[in-house]
Structure 1
């Protein structure tokens, strides 16, 4: 047998073809594989729409929230003073009845006390609504946004009515109050209408 015979057991082993790179092995030193299961872009590219959803409350929203708390404080003070006023009017009416007996003035006093008490309860209820809206800014949805927007628009309209009355009477104090209500209500409504406000209340909650 000659060493050139491929079947010669004493000859050198046959030359094997070079092995092809196996799956999962890099094609060149220092070059990562580009096969299945490997990202073709930088790792952790971010979640879709991550930049479109605000993660912190926008500044205009924060301002509207603070204004809601300020309005609630004013409404509480007005409600408390109105309750004391209703109690005072009622006591005066009772004293008039004790002195002069039942008369038309005492009836008017009792009716006035009832009206003032209703106004006091109305302001206290509005204060509760203002506080609730401000608290719900963190976790609330579109219902809180729409309610706050309507609340701000109505507040601005009330301010316009007060301003008209102040202009007719010539009261500077009433004019200042009217401008404050118009400004507060306008800012609240603008914060809810702005795209940042809509995005804040549309953000995902986990």
Structure 2
């Protein structure tokens, strides 16, 4: 009996490669690329603890959301100006309409003036909140993104109330819907959740 006979049941079995993946603890086959495990073959980490890539520049969709937020805030400045102008002309308009001397008519006129003052204050508050959010996009955290979504939702409601203002309300509603969609995108969420050192 010799070990060279292939039909010998007691002969030396042929050598087979190990059953595990190449890498740590297994001998490498000549010419096979080394995978994973260890310094030379491990891919460099793009973010601490293996997260997504570190964002150093604001994504385009996030920049678009910031611009839309600024447009909505500017529209509310215009609306506040329109209400302010209406308020400044209120007394003259009431005199021209002949609503002086009648106490019941003056009560309704004062109620209307109060409504205009309320909407003027609301538009001014919306404008200020929008400008604050726009300025926080570069350095703010995820709360800025959430506040932008909530702000867009309320801006849709304010757009409904200003539909009669030369179509400005329709523009506000469309831009508010786009703001909500762009703020909810993954790239925007990654921008606001990026690590800050």
Q: TM-score, normalised by structure 2?
A: 0.65
Contact 1:94–1:106 at 8 Å: present in 2 too?
A: no
Counting only pairs closer than 5 Å after superposition, residues 3-18 of structure 1 correspond to structure 2 as none
Q: Which runs of 5+ in 2 are unaligned?
A: 1-37
Q: CA deviation at 1:124?
A: 0.6
Q: CA deviation at 1:192?
A: 1.9
Q: 2: distance between equivalents of 1:157 and 1:102?
A: 35
Contact 2:94–2:100 at 8 Å: present in 1 too?
A: no
Q: CA deviation at 1:80?
A: 1.5
Alignment of 1:150 onto 2:150: yes
Contact 1:76–1:127 at 8 Å: present in 2 too?
A: yes
Q: CA deviation at 1:130?
A: 0.8
Q: CA deviation at 1:54?
A: 1.6
Q: Give the superposed CA RMSD.
A: 3.3
Q: Which runs of 5+ in 1 are unaligned?
A: 1-38
Greater helix share, 1 or 2? Answer: 1
Q: Kindly tell me: are residues 100 and 50 of structure 1, through their superposed partners in 2, closer, same or farther at Cα, counting changes over 3 Å? A: closer
Counting only pairs closer than 5 Å after superposition, residues 116-155 of structure 1 correspond to structure 2 as 116-155=116-155
Q: 2: distance between equivalents of 1:122 and 1:100?
A: 29
Structure number, greater radius of gyration: 1
Q: Kindly tell me: are residues 186 and 114 of structure 1, through their superposed partners in 2, closer, same or farther at Cα, counting changes over 3 Å? A: same
Residue deviations 1:121-166 (CA, integer Å, cap 9, x gap): 100100011111111111111211111112223434665x57xxx7
Contact 1:96–1:106 at 8 Å: present in 2 too?
A: no
Contact 2:59–2:187 at 8 Å: present in 1 too?
A: yes
Q: Kindly tell me: are residues 111 and 152 of structure 1, through their superposed partners in 2, closer, same or farther at Cα, counting changes over 3 Å? A: same
Give the aligned length: 156
Q: Secondary structure at the match of 2:89?
A: helix
Alignment of 1:186 onto 2:177: yes
Q: Kindly tell me: are residues 47 and 141 of structure 1, through their superposed partners in 2, closer, same or farther at Cα, counting changes over 3 Å? A: same
Q: Kindly tell me: are residues 96 and 187 of structure 1, through their superposed partners in 2, closer, same or farther at Cα, counting changes over 3 Å? A: closer
Q: 1: distance between equivalents of 2:156 and 2:114?
A: 27
Alignment of 1:64 onto 2:55: no
Contact 2:145–2:183 at 8 Å: present in 1 too?
A: yes
Q: TM-score, normalised by structure 1?
A: 0.63
Contact 1:79–1:124 at 8 Å: present in 2 too?
A: yes
